[in-house]
Amino acid sequence: MFELGVIEFWHWWVLALLLIGVEIFAPGFIFVWLAAAAAVVGLIVLVLPDLSWQLQLLAFGILSVASAIGWWQFGRRNPSPSDRPQLNRRAEAYIGRVFVLEEAVENGYGVVTVDDSRWRASAESDIATGARVRVVGVDGTILKVEPT
């Protein structure tokens, strides 16, 4: 029979396995750190079997938060390289490409057609309709262009 006052090491290991199972079905890479914390608390209880359940829960909470924050910090310092770094920054992917100006750049702004969409373009000087322009930068959703 299970009593709250008596939590043994294997209880923590079962919890760790259950949390790994949750991670499999609800991936988010957070439950794995809770599982690791539960496994470590299980090891601590194996070494110190008289540890009170309150201290066990405290250790689990501290280790859970510490491991999750530690992984988050590691991920921020060591970002994984991407084969498509501009995936969610579509305009930046156009830098360096050459397009034909659909509407002349007058007073600093015009329109360029990129594939099947129209983009607002800006340039330092006026450029006539039909001119070829190269994208040299991006300002939000406005392509900065210069004549080629």
What angle is formed at CA 133 by the lines to CA 132 and CA 135, rounded to 5 degrees?
A: 150
Region of 125 on the Ramachandran plot (φ > 0 left; ψ -120 to 50 alpha; else beta): beta
What angle is formed at CA 84 by the lines to CA 114 and CA 90, rounded to 5 degrees?
A: 30
Residue type, 10: W
Rg (CA), the chain: 29
Three-class DSSP category at 84 = coil
Two tokens, residue 109: 């702004």
For 90, which DSSP code? G
Rounded to 10 deg, the angle between the 53-77 and 31-47 helix axes is: 140
- The pTM score is 0.57
138 vs 148: CA distance, rounded Å: 17
pLDDT tens for the chain, 148 residues long, are 556 568 899 999 999 999 999 999 987 888 999 999 999 999 999 999 999 999 999 999 999 999 999 999 998 999 888 777 667 778 888 999 999 999 999 999 999 999 889 999 999 999 999 999 999 999 989 999 999 8
Neighbours of 118 (CB within 10 A): 11
